[in-house]
Amino acid sequence: MRNRVLPAIIPVLLVFSLLSCTEKIEPGTTPPERITPIEVAVLEVRKTVQPVVYEAVGSVKARLSATVSSKLMGVIQRFQVKEGDRVKGGDLLVLLDDRQVAAQLNQAQAALAAARKAEAGAVSARAAAEAKAQQARSSYVRNRKMLAGGAITQENYESVEAQYKQAQADLARAEAMVEAAQSRVKEAQAAVDAARVARKDARVLAPFDGTVTAKMADAGSLAAPGTPLLTLEREDGYRVDLVVPEAYIQAVRTGQPVTVRIPAVYEAEIDGTVDVIIPTAEQGSRTFVVQVGIPTVDQLRSGMFARVPLTIGEQQMVRIPDSAVVREGQLTGVYIVDDENIARFRLVRIGRRFGDQVEVISGIRDGARMVAAPPVQLTNGSSVEF
């Protein structure tokens, strides 16, 4: 009986197997694997009114500097200093050949001596003229009385009167000669003083305490009046000369506090004050020079580069932390969190930098939620929690 059943069952099983192979298999009902949300910090993006800042650039300069020049014509004998030397006021800087001015001094002194001798002679002549004039006056007065008494004739009186007038004229001439001689003495004395000053000018002295920053001639060169020889700077403070476009100069005022950054020597900002605004613009560039006073800083030197941010107005803008910006090659974007707490990558356009923040020009709407510092594992479409 058993052997009969098996042959009958086998064909049935074969048919069932063939039918099963031709039917569609339905998908399974196993639930998907649960994804753990990534924990992030989220901030809300808001437009705020921020100052509009123009970053002016300029150069550091000494508060007081001077170009030492020659006052006379002469050959430079030697320089007593070189670049970088510190000097005191009155120190000898340059020595010029003074033989020519020495000769001029000797000539002026000789002319002064001759003028004084001429003055002495004129004074003696005036004294003699005064004596004669006094004698002629006495004779004139006496003879006038005698004429009134009839003691002398009119002719004798007129002769005495003529002598008196001649004596007065001689006295006036003598006094004029003394005045002329005194004038010549004064002129000669002035020439001597000028020659002495010129001889002193052969020794070029430091006008104040400072440092020699430039040498513009060499020994043996011919120095003429006004020829620059050295540049001297006083080490009692510096300033920054800024170049400000004419469009922004109205926003700058004298006494305005500013911050100065000099990258070469000082990373932190230096407090400064607008001291001077040059009232005329440079015609070629249409810019104004603004002088900002700064305190003394170690290793500061003239000519160093400086930056000074100037507030020129206000505007609404969106600022976000630089840590929120994701840079992928040339693409810049941020992660925006939607209502379902899903992070979506959005491309944005970045503008100016303000410390640890950056300006967003476009790509984020006001009120959006943004990931403040995207972790490495965060990708577009990731679920987040905060």
Does residue 334 or residue 234 have the better pLDDT?
A: 334
**What's the confidence (pLDDT) of residue 13?**
39
Question: Which of the 8 DSSP states describes residue 27?
Answer: P
Minimal CA–CA distance to 47: which of 360, 386, 371, 374?
A: 360
- Please spell the DSSP secondary structure of 139-163, one letter per residue: HHHHHHHHHHHTSS-HHHHHHHHHH
| pTM passes above 0.85 | no
Q: What is the pLDDT of residues 178-209, one digit of tens each?
A: 999 999 999 989 988 888 888 888 888 898 88
Q: In which band, very low, low, confident or very high, does the pLDDT at 33 lie, cut at 50, 70 and 90?
A: low
Task: Assess whether pLDDT exceeds 70 at residue 162.
Answer: yes
* Contacts of 342-351 spanning 24+ positions with Cβ under 8 A: 342/381, 342/382, 342/383, 342/384, 343/38, 343/40, 343/371, 343/374, 343/378, 343/379, 343/380, 343/381, 343/382, 343/383, 343/384, 344/380, 344/381, 345/379, 345/380, 350/325, 351/317
**pLDDT average, residue stretch 300-326:** 89
Question: Phi and psi (nearest 5°) for 340?
Answer: -95, 15
Task: Assess whether pLDDT exceeds 70 at residue 107.
Answer: yes
**What's the confidence (pLDDT) of residue 314?**
83
What gap in Å lies between CA 278 and CA 293, rounded to an integer?
A: 14
| Contact of 385 with 341, CB cutoff 8 Å | yes
Angle between helices 99-149 and 154-201 in degrees, nearest 10: 170
| DSSP H helical ranges for the chain | 2-22, 99-149, 154-201
**What's the confidence (pLDDT) of residue 41?**
92
Question: Phi and psi (nearest 5°) for 116?
Answer: -70, -35
Question: Phi and psi (nearest 5°) for 363?
Answer: 115, -15
Task: Assess whether pLDDT exceeds 50 at residue 297.
Answer: yes
Counting Cα atoms < 13 Å in the Cβ hemisphere of 18 gives 5
Region of poorest pLDDT, from 54-58, 61-65, 338-342: 61-65
**What's the confidence (pLDDT) of residue 1?**
35
CB atoms within 10 A of CB 234: 16
**What's the confidence (pLDDT) of residue 237?**
79
Average pLDDT, the chain: 84
Q: In which band, very low, low, confident or very high, does the pLDDT at 102 lie, cut at 50, 70 and 90?
A: confident
**What's the confidence (pLDDT) of residue 369?**
93
Task: Assess whether pLDDT exceeds 50 at residue 5.
Answer: no
**What's the confidence (pLDDT) of residue 345?**
93
Q: What is the pLDDT of residues 206-223, one digit of tens each?
A: 988 888 989 988 888 888
What gap in Å lies between CA 213 and CA 234, rounded to an integer?
A: 10
- Please spell the DSSP secondary structure of 58-117, one letter per residue: EEEEESSEEEEE-SS-EEEEEES--TT-EE-TT-EEEEE--HHHHHHHHHHHHHHHHHHH
| Contact of 332 with 348, CB cutoff 8 Å | yes
Task: Assess whether pLDDT exceeds 80 at residue 312.
Answer: yes
Tokens, residue 376: 């490495």
**What's the confidence (pLDDT) of residue 22?**
44
Task: Assess whether pLDDT exceeds 80 at residue 236.
Answer: no
Query: Which residue reads 């990731």 in tokens?
Result: 382
Tokens, residue 324: 């929120």
Question: Which of the 8 DSSP states describes residue 133?
Answer: H
Task: Assess whether pLDDT exceeds 70 at residue 11.
Answer: no
Minimal CA–CA distance to 255: which of 277, 270, 238, 278?
A: 277
Task: Assess whether pLDDT exceeds 70 at residue 116.
Answer: yes
**What's the confidence (pLDDT) of residue 34?**
56
For residue 310, list its beta bridge partners.
54
